[in-house]
Amino acid sequence: MFDLVIKNAKVIDGSGGPWYKADVAVKDGKISKIGKFKDVAADNIIDAAGKVVSPGFIDAHSHSDFVAAAINNAEGKITQGVTTEVSGVCGITAAPVNPDTISQLKQYLGAFMPKGLKLNWEWRSLGDWMDIVDKQGNATNLAMFVGHGSIRIAVMGFANRAPSAGELEDMKKLVRQSMEQGALGISTGLIYPPGCYSDKEELIELCKVIAEYGGIYVTHMRNESGEIIPALEEAIDIGRQSGCAVHISHHKVAGRSNLGLINKTLGMMEEARLEGIDVTCDVYPYIAGSTLISALLPKWVHDGGVDKMLNRLKDSDIRDKIAKELEEDVPGWENLVKNGGWDKIMICSCINNKSWEGRTIKDIADELGVKPAEALFDIIISERGDVTIALFMMDEDDNKKIVAHRLSMIGSDGFASSFSGILSQGKPHPRSLATFPRVLGRYVRENKVISLETAIWKITGFAAQRFGLHDRGLIREGLQADLVVFDPDTIIDKADYKNPFQQAEGIDYVIMKGEIVVDHKVCTGKVLGCTLRYSSRA
């Protein structure tokens, strides 16, 4: 007697191999048997004739951890087939916490938090935070990196300098603690303060610690546009000198003048692997990125934290200086405004003036009768920087090359979202709700960029292999029964930038731990996710 049997399916097992027809039986949360069954007895039987059954999708780059200590029922990921998320990326995590700098950490994370979210901040270490998430459960499973930016804040706040020898040792202790509590490795966000204040030597020393545990260095590099080559060289050299694996976050080349550089960067990764450096990347299937509005400002403006940044923006002389730099190429700083232009920067979410959401900075400036830079400064001051933006700055042909490349897997770079309640605020980037159906519907079926089997490999088996999730990601007897049943002929994304809260089509069932959590697009209300601690899977 099985708990669940999926019959008559096309099985795409996550290995990259061709589909085959089989039944899949589940017992006690595990895949119990794969084959062709007659007169099978089960509590639930799903007839998947004409449909595909695959492993549950693994989001290789997610920011759902921002709210996971308070909200556990985000529907935006689970309804698109995601059962596991790799989080704690871009250097930004809610732990570790130093009581002396907790106010700065709260400001650091504030722009990512929906209005009305209540966090009790009872945790201090990453392990404490994981315990809280596990106590209440989560819509998806979360595998965590520890954020370099948060570690830096815990030790030295937003200081724009290299750490002292003692501070570096304190940072290494926090990295070691996090690794022993189950972190996958360390992440950096090197365009954001305080991560942008670090140098390569600091990062090498921290990565030497994670190398002892077989951890991964995952990085939002210092530059993803005109200076992407030296930025990638730095990331690869950190792997070379520390001995750890390297993973490039949301790989892209931004900016109208940088078309074609992606051929060089992908070649550099291949060359690094020939040298023996373990390098991979993830990519999202959109030509717009998304980040904090404050990332548009030169990095010196952030020195000392949010309050000092806001005070600088109120000074007319400093505003003039920033406006001038926004029109220039400044060595060592990625000018996101120049990459796309004011008409390509759209407000996704803000706290106070909801009329700005879904509009570009140029539109807002024209309405106010001011220059775009002045509008930018006033928006940041009015919202205290709690604004997310979408930046339309990539090329679709470049994106297709990355998606098709053998070293890439798929990550949404999305936030926890839902179709109602506190997680339905603003106009989040549609990737938060539609990344995986978009890959399978547009990149596979419509544009034929990759085969269906390759796409499933990139969103299941490859990600599981890369991040040490060895109990999932494949349809194999004995592995976790996280599964998706979908129609390959109809699966498609519906979310867009103006109306993101539209559920994807074509996903019939999502199964976690052998239980149905999405039944014909409807969430069943079961909350079965937990944190996946690296040490516990060793």
* Alpha-carbon distances of 481 from 28, 59, 486, 502, rounded to whole Å: 9, 17, 16, 27
Q: Which of 337, 356, 391 is the last residue in one of the domains?
A: 391
Q: What is the pLDDT along the chain (538 residues), one digit of tens a residue?
A: 899 999 999 999 999 999 999 999 999 999 999 999 988 889 999 999 999 999 999 999 999 999 999 999 889 999 999 999 999 999 999 999 999 999 999 988 887 888 888 899 999 999 999 999 999 999 999 999 999 999 999 999 999 999 999 999 999 999 999 999 999 999 999 999 999 999 999 999 999 999 999 999 999 999 999 999 999 999 999 999 999 999 999 999 998 788 889 999 999 999 999 999 999 999 999 999 988 899 899 989 988 888 999 999 999 999 999 999 999 888 888 888 988 899 999 999 888 898 999 999 999 999 999 999 999 999 999 999 989 899 999 999 999 999 999 999 999 999 999 999 999 998 999 999 999 999 999 999 999 999 999 999 999 999 999 999 999 999 999 999 999 999 999 999 999 998 999 999 999 999 999 999 999 999 999 999 999 998 643 3
Total domain count for the chain?
A: 3
Q: 318 and 218: one domain?
A: no
- CATH number of the domain within which 499 lies: 2.30.40.10
Is 106 part of any domain? yes
Residues 6+ apart with CB under 8 A from 304: 157, 158, 159, 160
Q: 380 and 462: one domain?
A: no
Is 535 part of any domain? no
Task: Residue 282: give the domain boundaries.
Answer: 57-287+394-469+480-484
Q: 372 and 417: one domain?
A: no
Residues 6+ apart with CB under 8 A from 527: 72, 73, 136, 137, 138, 139
288-292, strands of its sheet edge to edge:
288-292, 388-392, 345-349
Q: Report angle CA 345, 349, 350 to the nearest 5 degrees.
A: 110
Is 432 part of any domain? yes
Is 538 part of any domain? no
- CATH number of the domain within which 430 lies: 3.20.20.140
Burial group, residue 381, by CB count within 10 angstroms (0-12, 13-18, 19+): middle
Q: 38 and 83: one domain?
A: no
pTM, entire model: 0.94
Q: 192 and 63: one domain?
A: yes
pLDDT tens digits, one per residue of 367-409: 999 999 999 999 999 999 989 899 999 999 999 999 999 999 9
Q: 334 and 438: one domain?
A: no
Is 534 part of any domain? no
pLDDT of residue 351: 84
Q: 61 and 48: one domain?
A: no
- Going 309 to 381 to 429 to 336, the CA torsion angle's sign is negative
Q: 270 and 329: one domain?
A: no
Q: Which of 224, 183, 481, 486 is nearest to 333 (CA)?
A: 224
Is 293 part of any domain? no
Radius of gyration of the chain (CA): 22
Q: Which of 241, 235, 242 is nearest to 279 (CA)?
A: 235
pLDDT of residue 86: 98
Is 536 part of any domain? no
Q: 27 and 77: one domain?
A: no
Q: Which of 341, 369, 391 is the last residue in one of the domains?
A: 391
Is 537 part of any domain? no
